[in-house]
Structure 1
Amino acid sequence: MVYSMTGFGRGKKETDRLTITVEMKSVNHRFCDVTVRMPRQLLIFEDKIKKVVLQYVKRGRVEVFVNVEGEGLTKKKLQVDWQLLSDYYRSLQEANERFSLEDRVTLSQLFSLEGVTEIVEEEAENAEIEKLLIDATHEAALQLKGMREAEGRALINDIKEQLSLITECVVNIQMFAPDVSEQYRERLAKRVHEFLQGTVDEARILTEVAIFAEKADINEELKRIHSHIEQFTAAIGSDAPIGRKLDFLVQELNREVNTIGSKANDSRIALHVVEMKSALEKIKEQVQNIE
């Protein structure tokens, strides 16, 4: 199966106290690169999230966004500075004695004094949060993979159309190729005849035509194009990531087509070379997006 490198996925898991939403998007990249953006309290799960994503993605840049709603991430706790509270109490008692006062000290007064109490947040238990987070990540990654698969099918269908066009051009070029040398011989003989006014060295012409035919021979290039297309088609049916291999084959195809264009001295072949270059340019754009 061929996958595109672009896609989007979303997963959501929740309890009565907590809702975790994971969203991820992927774009083209030479390698596989996963970045995660999430609340500080969840950073301990970053590696586990990346491992989940890598089960579904082999190539591309993937950005993962984790959003948490609810009170489940932390729990509040009252912290009392008992030493400070004791110091306050002793100071108040001492003030009563020193100034002959009988002001009673209440708990509400003591606890309202600055610095005696503080409400702090503690991280909640990890087990439940981890399960929600990992489940939501799997859901988002599976959706991302599905979108990449659908786009991959569309890419391959378009590539196959362009490969068919190239194959058709190659077949036509193979029909025209034998005429190139004969047409060159006729043009050469006509020019020599005009220049020498009837005296023509036929052996010399045949030698020149033979040299031209050798230089203009494109059979090897046509064979290699057939071979590259076969390799391209075989790669498409592979289960492994094939983007880099296809990119290499496109470069090789383009090299052979350019060689044919420089060798073949024929307007009909030149027209097909232009068509093949156009098709290869479209294939190159599509291949850049394949995993």
Structure 2
Amino acid sequence: MIKSMTGYGRVEGLCDGRNIIVEAKSVNHRFLEIALRMPASLYPLEMEYKKKIAERFKRGRIDVSIRLEGEGSETSKVNVNMDIARGYFDVLSRMKTEFNIQEPVSIKSLISFRDIFTPSVENQLDAAFLNSVEKMLQEALSILVNMRQDEGIVLFSDMQMRLQAIGEIMGEIRLRAPQVVLEYQKRLSERIRELTAGLELDAGRLAQEVAVMADRCDITEEIVRMQSHIGQFEALLQSDEAEGRKIDFLLQEMNREINTIYRGISAFRHREEHHLQKVAGCMSRY
């Protein structure tokens, strides 16, 4: 079953006199990208938290914020490891010289290295408090997942309805396709006779050329491919895997087939043109 790429989850609770607020939201993204904001006292757990987040999602940009408020949070007390900072500064300085970079090494260049900063001893959080933070993180992620699933159910129903409508329309066009070719052939023959009135022409050769030209508006092959794409689309909607890219590809192919079918009948306007406009309308939302 498909899931929406957007969602939001928020959990708030008290522990040891401190208020813990965890917020998680997601938006569409080609890959999995995790952005985590939290107090310095939780920096040592950053990789562990990101791993837990990655276990819940396959793609999308996931933004998670963890805030600690109230007595005892002491989030501003942070130690700086000057030896590590000096090492980074030396490396950046050598790179600056080696690659002839004009921009100076600044404090902004150093603060991105998280291992330079560690919470002070009095700022360390006990195990029970950290367990509460992790539990609330998981709760916020669960709310986010549920929201994506609920919205996915709505999208699934809407897509199924549109695919069914497209399938029915393509079925009608397929039934009419042979007649369209014959009618086009008839009209083309009549028009040629009007233009060549009084001229002596090889009737057999003329009939052959008319048949060749009429065959160009035969759209049977495109209709068959379109119906195959619809079946594949329906199968992808039932999949538990992340199938967004495959669906994007199928939509491109379906649009290509619709355009080809439209060009095939463009010389002979018929009700099929109206059908194709309805198909394009069904697909336009995706």
TM-score band (shorter)?
0.7 to 0.9
- The residue that corresponds to 1:243 in the other structure is 244
Deviation at 1:213, TM superposition (A): 3.4
1:213 matched to 2:214? The reply is yes
Deviation at 1:2, TM superposition (A): 1.4
Deviation at 1:152, TM superposition (A): 0.5
Deviation at 1:197, TM superposition (A): 3.4
Kindly tell me the number of residue pairs found equivalent between the two proteins.
240
Contact 2:4 2:151 (C-alpha < 8 Å) held by counterparts: yes
TM-score (normalizing by structure 2): 0.77
Sequence identity (%): 39
Deviation at 1:181, TM superposition (A): 2.1
- The residue that corresponds to 1:129 in the other structure is 129
Deviation at 1:121, TM superposition (A): 7.0
> CA separation of 1:181/1:208 partners in 2, compared to 1, >3 Å: closer, same or farther?
farther
1:228 matched to 2:229? The reply is yes
- The 3-state SS of whatever aligns with 2:55 is helix
- The residue that corresponds to 2:271 in the other structure is 268
Amino acid at match of 1:149: Q
Following the alignment from structure 1 to structure 2, what is the Cα–Cα distance between the partners of residues 273 and 131?
58
Deviation at 1:124, TM superposition (A): 2.6
Following the alignment from structure 2 to structure 1, what is the Cα–Cα distance between the partners of residues 183 and 253?
30
Following the alignment from structure 2 to structure 1, what is the Cα–Cα distance between the partners of residues 203 and 179?
19
- The 3-state SS of whatever aligns with 1:232 is helix
Following the alignment from structure 1 to structure 2, what is the Cα–Cα distance between the partners of residues 44 and 13?
22
Deviation at 1:126, TM superposition (A): 4.1
- The residue that corresponds to 2:205 in the other structure is 204
1:21 matched to 2:43? The reply is no
- The residue that corresponds to 2:49 in the other structure is 49
Deviation at 1:209, TM superposition (A): 2.8
Following the alignment from structure 1 to structure 2, what is the Cα–Cα distance between the partners of residues 261 and 244?
26
Segment of structure 1 superposing worse, 159-168 or 64-73: 64-73
Aligned CA-pair RMSD: 2.2
Following the alignment from structure 1 to structure 2, what is the Cα–Cα distance between the partners of residues 12 and 52?
19
Q: Matches of residues 1-291 of structure 1 in structure 2 within 5 Å? A: 1-74=1-74, 122-197=122-197, 201-264=202-265, 265-282=268-285, 284=286
Amino acid at match of 2:176: F
The runs of 5 or more residues in structure 2 that have no matched partner are 76-119
TM-score (normalizing by structure 1): 0.76
- The 3-state SS of whatever aligns with 2:281 is helix
The runs of 5 or more residues in structure 1 that have no matched partner are 76-119, 285-291
Larger Rg: 1
Deviation at 1:277, TM superposition (A): 1.4
Segment of structure 1 superposing worse, 210-219 or 165-174: 210-219
- State the Cα deviation string for residues 231-251 of structure 1 (Å, max 9, x = none): 111111111111111111111
Deviation at 1:128, TM superposition (A): 2.4
> CA separation of 1:16/1:133 partners in 2, compared to 1, >3 Å: closer, same or farther?
closer
Deviation at 1:71, TM superposition (A): 3.3
> CA separation of 1:178/1:122 partners in 2, compared to 1, >3 Å: closer, same or farther?
same
Following the alignment from structure 2 to structure 1, what is the Cα–Cα distance between the partners of residues 47 and 169?
51
Deviation at 1:29, TM superposition (A): 1.0
Contact 1:36 1:64 (C-alpha < 8 Å) held by counterparts: yes
> CA separation of 1:157/1:28 partners in 2, compared to 1, >3 Å: closer, same or farther?
same
- State the Cα deviation string for residues 189-238 of structure 1 (Å, max 9, x = none): 32233234376754234212321233222111111111111111111111
Contact 1:10 1:21 (C-alpha < 8 Å) held by counterparts: yes
- The 3-state SS of whatever aligns with 2:69 is strand
Contact 2:22 2:67 (C-alpha < 8 Å) held by counterparts: yes
- The 3-state SS of whatever aligns with 1:216 is coil
- State the Cα deviation string for residues 172-193 of structure 1 (Å, max 9, x = none): 1112211222212221232233
Following the alignment from structure 1 to structure 2, what is the Cα–Cα distance between the partners of residues 160 and 49?
37
